[in-house]
Structure 1
Amino acid sequence: MASEAQQNHLIIIEDDKGRREFTLDSPVYSIGRDPKCDIRLISQFVSRRHATLVQLPKEEGDGYYYRIVDGNLKGKASSNGLIINGKKEAAHDLKDEDRIVFGPGVDATYYMLNRDAISTVPPDEYDITLISPSMMPDEDESDESLGITEQGGYELDDSQGYREDE
């Protein structure tokens, strides 16, 4: 049984609203300040319809990729344009980890992740959770000094900022 590769396309936007992640799977996305945009950018420095993402089939026939185009699909460019990987471009076929700048303080990173539909690697038998030694009590500390009662509960005193219940 052959495993078929799946692609996950992600774009992570950083703007005045913070950092947001979008999974891409539709054929077209509008990007901009307009509330009607599929991916809304929150900044006064971007156009209402700043850019468009278009899904295109790969030449090899296995999957697709995204092209980002400045402005809308009718040819109206944005005010600031697009800077992709440090270069101003009107259109760009996106590759993994491409960096897109829409304006001051507004940028995005594109990721294309390939994953096998069927896992062929067994789980790692040495996959463990590490605990920092600073999280462990010293050997000379008794349960009583840690505030642990005989019933297994915890007792807090005034030094820890809590009032004792009487």
Structure 2
Amino acid sequence: MVTESNESHLLIIEDDQGRKEFPLEKTIYSLGRDRECNIRLMSQFVSRRHATLVRMQRGDTNGYGHNYYYRIVDGDAKGKPSANGLMINGRKMPVHNLKNEDEIVFGPQVRAIYYLLQNTQISRQTDEIEYDITLINPGMTDDEELD
């Protein structure tokens, strides 16, 4: 039996226009109000270049497919911080390595939740399974033969 595990990274954004899901696959994402951002945040309280998501290589993968994670950094890729900063799990932080179900608040009514989804696929050789199904007519039970 062979077991293979891989991960999917998902960011769910809630802003003035509702809820959007972003599967994360690229090495870098810009988040903010600017039209050029990879992930646009629709709110007047968000900076044009509010945050940057960077895919980071893990040091030890242990052979389980856990080969990278995402780090969120306040501000743009050039190091200019946002006006309001980031609140991650209720604490103001300039940088954070994201973990499953981390909540990122960009401003009033603008937040994101990060999900690290485990996709485990099990492939195995199976023999054909045969099922023996016997149908019983209710009139054939022993209860009715007791006279």
**What range is the shorter-chain TM-score in?**
0.7 to 0.9
Q: Does 1:99 align with 2:110?
A: no
The superposition leaves residues 22-70 of structure 1 with CA deviations (integer Å, 9 ceiling, x where unpaired) of: 0001000000000110000000000000000000011213411000000
Aligned counterparts of 1:108 and 1:118: Cα–Cα separation in 2: 31
Give the number of equivalent residue pairs: 120
Looking at secondary structure, tell me which structure has more strand per residue: 2
Q: How does 1:30-69 map to 2 (within 5 A)?
A: 30-61=30-61, 62-69=66-73
Query: Which residue does 2:83 correspond to in 1?
Result: 79
Q: How does 1:1-166 map to 2 (within 5 A)?
A: 1-61=1-61, 62-118=66-122
Aligned counterparts of 2:108 and 2:69: Cα–Cα separation in 1: 27
After superposing on structure 2, the runs of 4+ consecutive aligned residues of structure 1 that deviate more than 2 Å are 117-120
Contact 2:2 2:123 in 1 (8 A): no
Q: Secondary structure at the match of 1:46?
A: coil
Aligned counterparts of 2:118 and 2:59: Cα–Cα separation in 1: 17
Q: Return the offset for 1:119.
A: 5.5
Aligned counterparts of 2:122 and 2:38: Cα–Cα separation in 1: 32
Identity across matched positions, percent: 59
| Unpaired segments ≥5 residues, structure 1 | 121-166
The superposition leaves residues 51-105 of structure 1 with CA deviations (integer Å, 9 ceiling, x where unpaired) of: 0000001121341100000001211000000000000000000000000000001
Aligned counterparts of 2:36 and 2:117: Cα–Cα separation in 1: 28
The superposition leaves residues 102-141 of structure 1 with CA deviations (integer Å, 9 ceiling, x where unpaired) of: 0001000000011113367xxxxxxxxxxxxxxxxxxxxx
Q: TM-score, normalised by structure 2?
A: 0.78
Change (3 A) 1:112 1:15: same
Contact 2:50 2:81 in 1 (8 A): yes
Higher-RCO chain (CA-CA 8 Å, sequence separation at least 6): 2
| Unpaired segments ≥5 residues, structure 2 | 125-147
Q: Return the offset for 1:13.
A: 0.2
